[in-house]
Structure 1
Amino acid sequence: MLKFYFNGAPNPNKVALFLEESGLPFEPVPVDTRKGDQFKPEFLKVNPNGKVPAIDDDGVFVFDSNAILLYLAEKTGKFLPPATPKNRAQMLSWLMFVASGIGPYSGQAVHFKHFAPKDLEYAHDRYQFEAHRHYGILNDHLAGSKYMVGDTYTIVDMAFWGWARMVPFVLGDDALTKYPNVKRLLDEVSARPAAARAIALKDKFTFKTEMDDEARNIMFRHLKTKAA
């Protein structure tokens, strides 16, 4: 059975959504990143980058949430757009846009907004600007498209959803009012029963919630290295 290494963060939620939508049987394996589970040898064998999510599909290891989505979609034939060169080009382009733009810039925006020392104004402003810019591109695209790839609900919408539901935490409580088309698709995906199950998956396990010194040293190892 497929093993799904996860926690409740945006990137694992994308894969959880696919698994819940597709009905693929899987074994959830919690990875508590505030306790350092991501650095255990048994997990690094699956993902040498030490990040969640990852999957072990009967000995086939796949890591990076977007790679996992594409792998599972192609394996099952589910949640792909109609098979035309144009649709595949659009799917890959927008999936990589989420992978290389939305995810990293949202993640850095969160870091400098909520966790970094408060005197780093330049870094905070840069990542807030870039995150807003990326969501603006999504908003403009969705003004003329029901889903991320035409009229078909695909893995790109799942990738979008993983981070879009975090926009208030990334950019502020009122940020979605600036991006009505993003909110429209976010609300539609979030209303799907599979989305509720994907979010609730983490509640079956106990994850550390405190961002204490131990967790901070594990998650932000550059601080520990600098202090040493």
Structure 2
Amino acid sequence: MKLYYAETLSPRKACAMAGYLGLPIEYVFVDLRKGEQTRPDYLAINPNGKVPCLVDGDKSIWESDAVICRLAQRAESGLWPQNAQQQIEIMRWFSWNNQHLYRHAGSLYFEYLIKPWVGLGAPEPAKVAEAQGFFRKHAAVLNQHLKGRKWLLGHDMSVADFSVGVTLPYAKSAAMPLDEFPEVQRWHDQLNAIEAWRNPFPVREERAAANA
């Protein structure tokens, strides 16, 4: 298997899942600043020009939630449960996250981390305030759901936890008011106890040289 990634939000969940499961994977870094995601050879495997993308034999799987489900399936892991009702619950949380929490937490991630990275200037206060307002609204829903539950589906961790939690490692640096939601904080602390969650990206030669 080959996992094409960049060190950004959506690939983070795929890399964390692959690392957690210990699957034999060849990681291929896609340099977004050089536009490598728009090269014809990459578009041939993901016509959207996005990361991550998993090439598994003759199958090319794009969209990060599909990628993490495939990885869990390949590892025969309970993170992708066999129970149909639990699978529906996972789909519900994937959809909810993409439309709500990830959407607005991702806006804060863009304002505080991506804009400086690509030279687009400082965060815009109006956009930050709007995104924080929506973050609070949706984090409150998640906070209520997690009361009495260890993980999103109950006692057992699943791919839904890896998906819904992916923005939260950046809460402090992207001004997400996570500390206002103790159940969400507690839940993310559990994820943060996992080494592959804290350090999901493989060490590249360029990064190793820069840190030497």
Give the shorter-chain TM-score range. Answer: 0.7 to 0.9
Paired position in structure 1 for 2:210:
none
Query: In 1, are the aligned partners of 2:109 and 2:174 still within 8 Å (CA)?
Result: yes
Query: In 1, are the aligned partners of 2:111 and 2:174 still within 8 Å (CA)?
Result: no
> What secondary structure sits across from 1:168 in the alignment?
coil
Q: Alignment identity in percent?
A: 25
Cα deviation digits, residues 26-85 of structure 1 (max 9, x gap): 000001112211111121112211111111111211111111112222343314365434
> What secondary structure sits across from 1:5 in the alignment?
strand
Paired position in structure 2 for 1:22:
21
Paired position in structure 2 for 1:124:
128
Query: In 2, are the aligned partners of 1:6 and 1:30 still within 8 Å (CA)?
Result: yes
Count, aligned residues: 202
Q: Take 1:195 and 1:98, find their aligned partners in 2: how far apart are those partners? A: 18
Q: Take 2:78 and 2:98, find their aligned partners in 1: how far apart are those partners? A: 18
Q: Given the alignment, which residue of 165, 189, 203 partners 1:187?
A: 189
Q: Take 1:56 and 1:119, find their aligned partners in 2: how far apart are those partners? A: 36
Q: Given the alignment, which residue of 149, 157, 172 partners 2:161?
A: 157
Which stretch has the larger CA shift, 31-40 or 93-102?
93-102
Pair 1:61–1:132, CA change in 2 (3 A): same
Query: In 2, are the aligned partners of 1:79 and 1:155 still within 8 Å (CA)?
Result: no
> What secondary structure sits across from 2:167 in the alignment?
helix
Pair 1:137–1:50, CA change in 2 (3 A): same
Deviation, 1:178, is: 0.5
Paired position in structure 2 for 1:220:
none
Query: In 1, are the aligned partners of 2:6 and 2:51 still within 8 Å (CA)?
Result: yes
Pair 1:121–1:13, CA change in 2 (3 A): closer
| Amino acid in structure 2 at the alignment position of 1:101 | H
Unaligned runs of 5+ in 1: 208-228
Q: Take 1:14 and 1:101, find their aligned partners in 2: how far apart are those partners? A: 17
Paired position in structure 2 for 1:42:
41
Deviation, 1:103, is: 2.2
| Amino acid in structure 1 at the alignment position of 2:150 | K
Paired position in structure 2 for 1:67:
66
| Amino acid in structure 1 at the alignment position of 2:17 | F
Highest relative contact order (Cα 8 Å, sep 6+), 1 or 2? Answer: 1
Deviation, 1:204, is: 2.1
Paired position in structure 2 for 1:105:
104
Q: Does 1:141 align with 2:136?
A: no
> What secondary structure sits across from 1:198 in the alignment?
coil
Deviation, 1:117, is: 6.5
Unaligned runs of 5+ in 2: 208-212
Cα deviation digits, residues 166-219 of structure 1 (max 9, x gap): 1223334xx2220111111211111113324424x1x32437xxxxxxxxxxxx
| Amino acid in structure 2 at the alignment position of 1:12 | P
Q: Give the structure-2-normalised TM-score.
A: 0.83
Q: Take 1:186 and 1:140, find their aligned partners in 2: how far apart are those partners? A: 14
Query: In 1, are the aligned partners of 2:38 and 2:49 still within 8 Å (CA)?
Result: yes
Give 1:74-89 correspondences, 5 Å limit. 74-80=73-79, 82-89=81-88
Paired position in structure 2 for 1:198:
200
Deviation, 1:93, is: 0.7
